[in-house]
Structure 1
Amino acid sequence: MATISTDAPIATLINVFTVQPDRQRALAELLTSATEEVMQHLPGFISANIHTSTDGGKVVNYAQWRSADDFRAMLGNPTAQEHMRQAAELADQYEPHLYTVESTHQH
C-alpha cells in the first residue's frame, strides 16, 4: 500500500503519460501487468498505483520505491526495460520524475 508521509524515507515516481484515448486502456493494462509480473518482485519495490484520466488522454503511474538507488536499479533490469519500451510506444509523451512529499492534508 502506498505511504504518503513527509517523513517516509522513500522515493516516489510519478510518471505522467499523454496518450491517445483509443490507447489509454492498453497502456493502463500494460502498466498493471508489468507491475504484477516484474516490478513488484524487484528489490525495493513498495507499491504502484495506475490512474487513468476521465478524458482518456492521460495515464499516471504513482509508484514508490525504498530508495532512489532501488529505482535506478530497476531501470537497468532488462525485463523492466522491455515493459518500459512498450509503454513508451503506446504513449505520445511521458514524464517520469522522482518526488518527495512536501505536505499532506486530510479532513
Structure 2
Amino acid sequence: MPATTTITAGAPVATLINVFTVQADRQRELVDLLVSATEEVMRHLPGFIAANIHASDDGTRVVNYAQWETADAFHAMLGNPAAQAHMSKAADIADHFDPHLYAVESVHHR
C-alpha cells in the first residue's frame, strides 16, 4: 500500500510546511511546478512519505504540506541536485517562501 499523509499528534515524521507568496497570475505555474517536482523527483527520494499542494482561493498563496520519515531525510533532499533545480525554479516564481519543519502537537475532530 502506498504511503499517505497521516496527521497524528506525536507521529514520528518530519512535517514540512512551506508557504509561498505568489502573484495571482503565477499561482498555477507554481502549483504545476511543485506537482511535477513531487512526481519527478521528491517522491523517489529516500524518506519521502507524501506531499500535498494547496492553492489559496485568492491566488496569492501556495502551501506545500509534505511529510518525510525523518528530519535527516528532509535535509538530505535539500542537497539533492535534482531537488535543488526544482526549488530554484519555485523560488524564481514565488515572491516569498517560508519553509519550516513542524511536529504535530494536536489534532481535533468533530
Q: TM-score, normalised by structure 1?
A: 0.99
Q: For residues 4 and 91 of structure 1, what CA distance do their matches in structure 2 show?
A: 27
Instruction: Give the equivalent residue in structure 2 for 1:40.
Output: 43
Q: Secondary structure at the match of 1:14?
A: strand
Q: For residues 9 and 56 of structure 2, what CA distance do their matches in structure 1 show?
A: 26
Instruction: Give the equivalent residue in structure 1 for 2:64.
Output: 61
User: Which of 82, 85, 103 is matched with 2:88 structurally?
Assistant: 85
Q: CA RMSD in A?
A: 0.4
Task: Give the CA deviation at 1:18.
Answer: 0.1
Instruction: Give the equivalent residue in structure 2 for 1:101.
Output: 104
Deviations for 1:17-47, whole angstroms, at most 9, x for unmatched residues?
Answer: 0000000000000000000000000000000
- Structure 1 gaps of 5+ residues are none
Instruction: Give the equivalent residue in structure 1 for 2:55.
Output: 52
Instruction: Give the equivalent residue in structure 1 for 2:15.
Output: 12
Percentage of identical aligned residues: 68
Residue 75 of structure 2 is aligned to residue 72 of structure 1: yes
Could you list the structure 1 runs, at least 4 aligned residues long, displaced by more than 2 angstroms after superposition: none
Deviations for 1:80-99, whole angstroms, at most 9, x for unmatched residues?
Answer: 00000000000000000000
- Structure 2 gaps of 5+ residues are none
Contact map agreement 2:22 2:94 (CA 8 A) in 1: yes
Aligned positions, number:
107
Task: Give the CA deviation at 1:8.
Answer: 1.2
Deviations for 1:60-94, whole angstroms, at most 9, x for unmatched residues?
Answer: 00000000000000000000000000000000000
Letter in structure 2 aligned against 1:33: S
